[in-house]
A and B are shown apart, each in its own frame.
Chain A
Amino acid sequence: MRRSVLISSLSMALVLGMGGLGAGQQRFELSAQQKPETAEVKIDNFSFGPAALTVPVGTTVSWTNRDDIPHTVVSTDGVFKSKVLDTDEKFSFTFSKAGSYPYFCSIHPKMTGKVIVQ
């Protein structure tokens, strides 16, 4: 009796896991077809969310500061640099070339993020 309960909960977990994977794949295909041209990064609690963002070439990424403290968005390689963003202020940048773009907050350099352009 105990064993059968264990087995059924295991198989449930497997099904759930696969379901999750399937949904993820679907989303990916959808975004590839529609080629969304904008993406958003939120700054909350001294962190960039999502910290790593993958977008197609040509996407405009915008960052919004939702903290009570100002932040900046500065490319580690000097590709882009925002002015200081106070609460609710935004910065946008359009990525026209494929590549990996690490960035950070120059006021709080422990805050780091990355945009991967494919």
Chain B
Amino acid sequence: MSGKRKDEILHDHNHDGIDRRGFLKCMAWAGTGAFCLMQGGVLKSYSLSRLPDLGSKEAMGELSFVQISDSHMGFNKPANPDVRATLEAAVDKINGLSATPEFMLHTGDISHLSKPEEFDIVDQILKSAKPKDVFYVPGEHDVLNDDGKQFLERYGKSSKGTGWYSFDKKGVHFVGLVNVMNLKAGGLGTLGHEQLEWLEGDVRHLKHSTPIVVFAHIPLWSVYPEWGWGTEDSAQALAYLKKFGSVTVLNGHIHQTMQKVEGHVTFHTAASTAFPQPQPGKADSPGPMKVPAEQLKSVLGITDVNYVPGQHALAVVDSSLA
């Protein structure tokens, strides 16, 4: 150890207070979620692990909330044998925020195999989070074997169709969409005609200045269609949102953070609280990524701040993970 303290940071390439050793120790990648802040009608998103860098002034806005995703409760393979502990770590981070977020969004894959006990554990862990309201959309792992019946009973009682809905918070219009049902052979995520029709009606009478936040499990932009990381009919959904000055799309599914801006629409994907997945095309398949030391750097990239500057101006922050 050459006299160094055990928990001393040795190599902090990303300046996020985490070195390789520390990373392995606390599995910071897994505990991450995103802290979202609405300022001047524009949403900014911060990785939870970088929040100490955020001054209290910067953390002020009209509305703040947290996005967590892909808890995969029940997963127990080498990429993360304890997904319960890493979800608890995410909740600890949320509870450590100086200002309690208004609510939480969970963008799906709550469970790994849609088992009741898996949902129960997540429910129980999230009860200890300071924000009391949690809004869910299903991931494909939440609707296995029963076409999503259980998910709807637990989380979607007041939702439409297979679980879509909208709500308003402090002048911001939130829309939860479902794109994991009735998937077709060879295809991507699907919203379907009925849901698209509902969306058109849902936003028709809103003022153009209303900030819109859309959240769904599978990315609503074409991240990597070869791995199914996209949604067939998302273009139609986005067409209905064209008239709005500020649109933010929050997704999960790909277990890594990415951002992209197209016109007035900002797309974000959140990290998983359970295990990382490889960058698009950087592995034989999108399966769970184990994190041996030599790959750690790319995983640590997940904790990079993805920050979209304010105004309606556009910054492409495609995350450079390597």
Contacts and interface: CB of A to CB of B under 8 A. Distances in A.
B113 A109 contact: no
Contacts of B226: 110
- The interface residues of chain B, by DSSP majority, are classed as loop
Contacts of A112: 185-186
A114 B288 CA distance: 26
A70 interface: yes
Interface stretch (A4-12, A23-31, A79-87): A79-87
Interface residues of B, number: 24
A39 B34 CA distance: 47
Given A86-B113, A112-B186, A47 B144 contact: no
- The interface residues of chain A, by DSSP majority, are classed as loop
B82 to A, nearest CB: 15
- Size range of the interface on A? 20 to 34
B114 interface: yes
Interface in B147-194: 183-188
B236 to A, nearest CB: 19
A95 interface: no
**Which of B114, B141, B144, B185 has the most chain A CB atoms inside 10 A of its CB?**
B185
Contacts of A102: 185
A98 interface: no
Given A47-B285, A70-B112, A110 B227 contact: yes
Interface of B: 77-79, 112-114, 140-141, 144-145, 183-188, 226-228, 284-288
